[in-house]
Amino acid sequence: MPLTDLGADELVYFRPELPDPTGFDDFWRRTLAEARSRDGAIKVERVTAQHMLRTVEVEDVRFPGWNGEPVAAWLLRPRDAPGPLPVVITYIGYGGGRGLPTDHLLWSAAGYAQLVVDSRGQGHDTPDRGLGDGTQWVEGFMTRGIDSPDDYYYRRLITDCVRAVDAVAQLPGLDSRRIVVAGGSQGGGLALAVAGLAGDRVAAAMPDVPFLCHFRHATAICGEGPYQEIAKYLRWHSRHRVEPAFDTLDYFDGVHFARRATAPTLFSVALMDPVCPPSTVYAAFNRYAGADRTMTVWPFGDHGGGLGSNPPVQLDWLRERGLAPEL
């Protein structure tokens, strides 16, 4: 995969001017207040034996998300580890869900608790009941409800992800002062959104090759991946829908969340990424409000980023910031 975006020297200074959409903060305050007003009980079931794991405890968690609807998650933690444990909340890439607990053993092996959050409508365990008018979207999730910020799919999904932070405080054995939000691609974009919305309740954010950043630029230059759903929608529909569509997307753009995020952050970017172009990642990184921000660059990485080389970088970075589990 050749380089298809700006060069490394240009990316470092890429800071596009993207004005905040009107009422951005009020929109998200209202959204989260509505979700919390429909709060409900968190349900937890221990399912370790079903997965034949000897060193990890696994619980099937259902917490209230958008509209109070239950969101599925796995909670994994090292067996018999003294708490409270730092917890990594993991958000999932586009088109995927929480999968199986055996897909997510890294963080518990390193001594952390991990809450793996299902993606509504994308995973199998959290349905999305607000898919919007079927005449207003193309396949996938990028254009569902795109005619209005109130109806847009990512309003519901991002709300679920913030509510996962709320849920940690109610789960025993977890340290709500040491919450790390993390994920790759869509999961990275969601981690960035939560960092911007949850404020100082997030101790650190680790967005890898984050999606959902600088929608307009990404839609114009991407040759692969979900941003093409937006281009297809706008190709099929009247030119008069172009600006209204991007007006909606502005309320969900990682650049605007980055401006509000202050937790220490470790981004990663892959310079040969055709799905989340590096310029869109730097657009968010260079606007990140927190002073402690680090970018890991994978010069020859595609959308897989640093693959297996990335976790050791993350573990070391967390240790340096006092967020590692006690030995």
Catalytic residue of the set 128, 160, 166, 273: 273
CA 106, CA 311: separation in Å to the nearest integer? 8
Residue 103 within any structural domain of the chain = yes
Residue 325 within any structural domain of the chain = no
Residue 327 within any structural domain of the chain = no
> What is the secondary structure of 220-289 as a DSSP string?
HH-SSSTHHHHHHHHHHS-GGGHHHHHHHHGGG-HHHHHTT--S-EEEEEETT-SSS-HHHHHHHHTT--
Residue 230's pLDDT is what? Answer: 95
Residue 324 within any structural domain of the chain = no
Catalytic residue of the set 104, 217, 256, 303: 303
- Tell me if 122 sits within 8 A of 141, measured CB to CB: yes
pTM of the model: 0.96
Token pair in block for residue 68 = 């109070």
CA 16, CA 266: separation in Å to the nearest integer? 21
Q: Nearest-CA neighbor of 39 among 129, 162, 125, 148?
A: 162
Residue 18 within any structural domain of the chain = yes
Average confidence (pLDDT) over 29-40: 96
Q: Amino acid identity, residue 67?
A: N
pLDDT digits (tens, 9 = 90+) for 63-110: 999 999 999 999 999 999 988 999 999 999 999 999 999 999 999 999
Residue 1 within any structural domain of the chain = no
Let me know if 273 is a catalytic residue: yes
- Tell me if 188 sits within 8 A of 305, measured CB to CB: no
Average confidence (pLDDT) over 223-239: 88
- Residue 15 predicted with pLDDT over 60: yes
Cβ atoms within 10 Å of 309's Cβ, excluding its own? 12
Structural domains in the chain (count): 1
Pairing assessment for the beta strands 204-208 and 174-184 based on DSSP bridges: parallel
Token pair in block for residue 20 = 């905040």
Q: The CATH number of the domain where 297 resides is what?
A: 3.40.50.1820
Residue 311 within any structural domain of the chain = yes
Let me know if 185 is a catalytic residue: yes
Residue 28's pLDDT is what? Answer: 98
Instruction: Supply the range of the domain harboring residue 98.
Output: 8-319
Catalytic residue of the set 118, 160, 166, 185: 185
Q: What is the mean pLDDT of the chain?
A: 94
